[in-house]
Amino acid sequence: MKKILVILLTVLLISGSLWAAGEKEAPLKGAGEAPVEIEVFYPVAVDAPIAKILGGYIASFQSINPNITVTPVFSGGYGDVKTAIQTTIEGGGKPPAMAVMLATDLYDLMNSGYIAPIDNYLSKLPDSEEYIKGFYPAFLDNSRYDGKLWSIPFQRSAVVMYYNKDMFKAAGIDRPDSWKAWGEAAQKLTVRDGDTVSQWGIEFPSGWPYWLFQPLAIGAGQNIIGDDDLTVYFDDPAVIDAVNFYISLSKTYNATPAGVQGAWGTAPANFSNGTTAMIVHSTGSLTTIISQSDFEVGVMPLPGKKAGTYASVPGGGNFYIMDGASEAEKAAAVKFAYFITQPELAANFSMNTGYIAVQKSAYDTSAMKAYLKKVPQAADTRDALNFAAKELSLQNLGQIRNIFHKYLQAAYNGEMTAAEAMKTAQEEADKSLADFK
pLDDT in the model for residue 48: 57
Query: How high is the pLDDT of residue 13?
Result: 42
C-alpha distances in Å from residue 305, one per residue of 29, 242, 245: 52, 8, 9
What pLDDT, on a 0 to 100 scale, did the predictor assign at position 256?
Answer: 98
- Spatial CB neighbours of 409, under 8 Å, sequence gap ≥ 6: 206, 209, 260
Phi, psi of 113 (to 5 degrees): 75, 20
Domains 15-157+315-387 and 160-313+390-436 share a fold: yes
- What is the pTM (predicted TM-score) of this model? 0.86
The CATH number that domain 160-313+390-436 falls under is: 3.40.190.10
Alpha-helical runs (H) found in 189-285: 209-220, 237-251, 267-272
Q: Which amino acid is at 81?
A: V
Residues in the chain with pLDDT values less than 70? 1-32, 45-48
Element (H, E) at 144: strand 144-145
Alpha carbon 272 to its chain's center: 20
DSSP state, residue 365 = S
- DSSP string for 164-202: EHHHHHHHT-PPP-SHHHHHHHHHHT-EEETTEEEEBS-
pLDDT at position 30 is: 54
Dump pLDDT digits (tens) for 105-136. Answer: 999 999 999 999 999 999 999 999 999 999 99
Q: What is the DSSP letter of 200?
A: B
CB atoms within 10 A of CB 183: 22
Distance CA 278, CA 267 (A): 9
Q: Which of 111, 118, 5 is nearest to 396 (CA)?
A: 111
What is the three-class DSSP state of 120?
A: helix
* Annotated domain spans of the chain: 15-157+315-387, 160-313+390-436
**What CATH number does domain 15-157+315-387 carry, 3.20.20.370, 2.40.110.10, 3.40.190.10, 3.40.47.10?**
3.40.190.10
Using DSSP, state whether 384 is helix, strand or coil. helix
| Residues 271, 289 contacting (CB under 8 angstroms) | yes
State the pLDDT at residue 366: 98
Sign of CA dihedral 286, 291, 292, 295: positive
3-state secondary structure of 164: strand
